[in-house]
Amino acid sequence: MGVEPTAPWSVETRRWVLIGLVILAALVLYWIRETLTVLVLALILAYLLNPLVALFQRHARISRLLAAGLIYLAFITLLIALAGTLTPIVVRQFLGLAADLDQILARLDAALQQFPLLGTLGLHVNVTTLANQLRAEMTTIVAFVPRVLIGVGSGVFRTVLVLVLSFYLLKDAEMIGRGIENAVPGEYRNEFRRIRFEFASIWSSFLRGQIVLALIIGTVTTLVLTVLGVRNALLLGLLAGILEVVPNLGPIIAAIPAVLIAFFQGSANWGIENTTFALIVVVAYVLIQQLENHLIVPSVLGSSVNLPPVVILFGALAGASLAGILGIFLAAPLLATARLIGRFLFQKLLEPEAATKSGE
Q: pLDDT by residue for the chain (360 residues), tens digit each?
A: 455 556 677 777 877 887 888 899 888 877 877 778 888 889 999 988 998 999 999 998 899 999 999 999 999 999 899 888 988 888 888 887 777 766 776 776 666 666 555 555 554 555 556 556 655 655 555 554 455 444 444 567 788 888 899 999 999 888 888 888 888 888 888 888 899 899 888 888 888 888 899 999 999 999 999 999 999 999 999 999 999 888 778 899 999 989 989 988 889 899 899 999 999 999 999 999 999 988 888 877 766 677 887 888 888 888 888 877 888 888 889 999 999 988 888 887 777 654 444 444
pTM to 2 decimal places: 0.74
CA neighbor of 229 nearest in space, from 276, 184, 182, 190 = 276
Residue 151 pLDDT: 46
b/e 263-278 (16+ beta carbons within 10 angstroms → b): bbbbbeeeebeeeebb
pLDDT score at 69: 93
> Following DSSP, what letter does each residue of 294-328 receive, concatenated?
IIIHHHHTTTSS---HHHHHHHHHHHHHHHHHHHH
Helices assigned H by DSSP within the chain: 11-31, 33-60, 64-99, 101-113, 117-120, 127-150, 154-171, 173-183, 189-228, 233-242, 249-265, 274-291, 297-300, 309-359
Q: Compute the distance between CA of residue 108 and CA of residue 174 in angstroms, rounded to an integer.
A: 59
* Distance between CA atoms of residues 336 and 220, nearest Å: 29
In eight-state DSSP terms, residue 3 is: P
DSSP code of residue 258: H
State how far Cα 107 lies from the chain centre: 36
Gap between the Cα atoms of 327 and 319, Å rounded: 4
**Predicted pLDDT of residue 183:** 82
Distance in angstroms (rounded) separating the CA atoms of residues 56 and 38: 27
Give the whole-angstrom CA distance, residue 53 versus residue 45: 12
Q: CA-to-CA distance for 320 and 314, rounded, in angstroms?
A: 10
Provide the pLDDT for residue 77. 94
* Dihedral sign (CA 16, 18, 22, 28): positive
Is the CB of residue 209 less than 8 Å from the CB of residue 48?
no
Domain boundary assignment for the chain: 34-183, 195-345
CA distance linking residue 265 with residue 232, whole number of Å: 11
Query: 245 to each of 36, 239, 312, 328, 331, how far by Cα in Å?
Result: 20, 11, 11, 7, 10
Which one-letter DSSP state was computed for residue 188?
G
Residue 356: its pLDDT value, please? 45
d(CA 47, CA 13): 36
CB 244 within 8 A of CB 250: yes
